[in-house]
Amino acid sequence: MKRKQKRILYRIIISAVLLAAVRIFCPDEWWAAFIYAVPYVIIGYDVIRKAVLNIAHGQVFDENFLMVIATIGAFATGEYMEAAAVMLFYQTGELFQSVAVGKSRKSISELMDIRPDYANIMRDGELVTIDPDEAAVGDEIIIKAGERIPLDGVVLEGESSVDTSALTGESLPRTVRVGDDVISGCVNQSGVLRVRVTKPFGESTVTRILDLVENAASKKAKAENFITRFARYYTPSVVIAAAALAVIPPLFAGGWLMWLHRALIFLVISCPCALVISVPLSFFGGIGGAGRQGILVKGGSYLEVLARTETVVFDKTGTLTKGVFNVTAVHPESIDEGRLIELAAYAESYSTHPIAKSILDAFNTEPDRSRVTSCEELSGKGIEAVIDGLTVCVGNDKLMDSIGVKWHPCHHVGTTVHVAVDGKYAGHIVISDEVKETSERAVAALREAGVSKTVMLTGDSDKVGQDVAKRLGIDEAYTELLPADKVERVEALISEKSEKGALVFVGDGINDAPVLSRADVGIAMGAMGSDAAIEAADIVLMDDDPAKIAKAIGISRRTLRIVYENIIFALGVKALVLILGALGHANMWAAVFADVGVSVIAILNAMRALKIKE
């Protein structure tokens, strides 16, 4: 409990003791108002102060104003005990609300307490501690056991277990070795790692995450905006209604004090605290609960739209597949498998194409480029190179046809790269992208969650794309698409969905950024995803697990359900007690429950959004 909260608690205790003593020992005389005023001022002076300051700034109609008017009016009508007690219980409820909100915020701040404080860097042979933002790309940092990884990088030396739970929600640590990428914000659990920095601190994973979380509150859901507008008109309306209740009935039936007392009860009941606090807190809790699962939501508005998901559209590479290509030599003709890959790697050694990189990775040896005496890239076909005096052609079917070499068709799914040496067919290599272990489960979970259609868009060949879609159970697949084609296809899918339904696009590459922006909700892969994709997306999956999409939809629906529960409960109870108060069947104690009690119950319900069922 914070110092301010403790001070309020002490005031509550002192006021409660004084009020009990006054009630027991003070006679029921007119001058008792001055004695009851002591516990009233002790517990309520800050409410009175806020009301006065708000009025001075032109903000008249708020809960402070309502409480002050109602309680002072109770004093004026001789209800001294009720006036002081209402203020006491109001402050008790406010304290409870403050503690509840603080607990929720603390839970989320602990979740996001991943900002590294320092980095250990090697300079002139010595280990120096610096601020992470002082490190540059290419610097080598040392991460000891128990330390938080300060910057994104690649492991140069060492092996260790890394706790990624703060970012991904995964409880099991991940083992990293030489050559593996590590991301900032994770904790090194065991061995010492030497890491080369690949991104400056301002562009690191931890900085991006913190920026997303800090900006989440700025994107309010429609329900939050509705409550803000509702409170703006609701409070003046009930003040006018209370004034009418105090003045109009006595003109016809008399009993001015009775109707004034009912009007004051009406004011206490009408405080909109339960709605104003619990609805934003529900969305805040939903965002925090999603964050615990490694799902970063950029605002409550996206949770609200996600709950209406009808169609989910996937990119293929890096989203449903690992984006790491397997290279396999298939049916070598005149040479063995190792030699086939070696020749292909040397021919591709000057290329920056992803396929070339995959072949070089499979060769796993730095090519001696002095062995390559000439190299020509044939647009749309492949590469022709002279390696150790041998003419090596590496490419597609068109290349083989152009040089008059009879090639063998490949029956394996993947991109086929043919190799010919001195005009003779040597064999072919199949490059395939491995499907993620969780992709099939992810599609099945979406179907269970009520998603009516799943679609895959890819620039890959039709054979590869249709095979992946069939294996995963995806309803529709569109292949060989350029980035502009993907946008057109998403536009068409949006026009096909129902008016209330939402289309979600999931992608990871820089070419997915336009589609992520166009979809109703864009979801990006946070670990492998490009900066452009993460910037354009509304939701980020920190561990690139597509199975988290169904979980995100479940969290959004649970959050919306809690929000609507609070709205219906608060308005329903208030409407009932307001009617009873106007008819004289509800006293100040019922008014306190309609305000403070309803607020506490609604806040407790809102905090359920933080607790996500596995």
What is the Cα–Cα distance from 44 to 67, expressed in whole angstroms? 9
Element (H, E) at 391: strand 390-395
- Catalytic one of 139, 163, 315, 512: 315
Rg over CA atoms, the chain: 33
Amino acid residing at 329: A
Distances (CA, A) of 360 to 319, 337, 379: 23, 14, 20
SS3 content of the chain, % helix, strand, coil (to 5): 55, 20, 30
Triad 608, 612, 614: Cα angle to 5°: 150
Dihedral over alpha carbons 182, 187, 189, 193 (to 10 degrees)? 40
Dihedral over alpha carbons 311, 312, 313, 314 (to 10 degrees)? -170
Distances (CA, A) of 344 to 305, 385, 403, 410, 427: 49, 10, 17, 17, 11
Secondary structure string (H, E, C) spanning 10-47: HHHHHHHHHHHHHHHHCCCCCCHHHHHHHHHHHHHHHH
Active site residue 433: no
Name 309's bridge partners.
Answer: 502
What is the Cα–Cα distance from 274 to 79, expressed in whole angstroms? 26
Amino acid residing at 222: K
Amino acid residing at 382: G
Q: Which token pair is 254?
A: 């008399």
For residue 197, give every residue at least 6 positions away whose Cβ sits within 8 Å of its Cβ, in sequence order, or none.
135, 136, 137, 138, 139, 140, 141, 151, 152, 153
Name 419's bridge partners.
Answer: 394, 427
Which residues are annotated as catalytic?
315
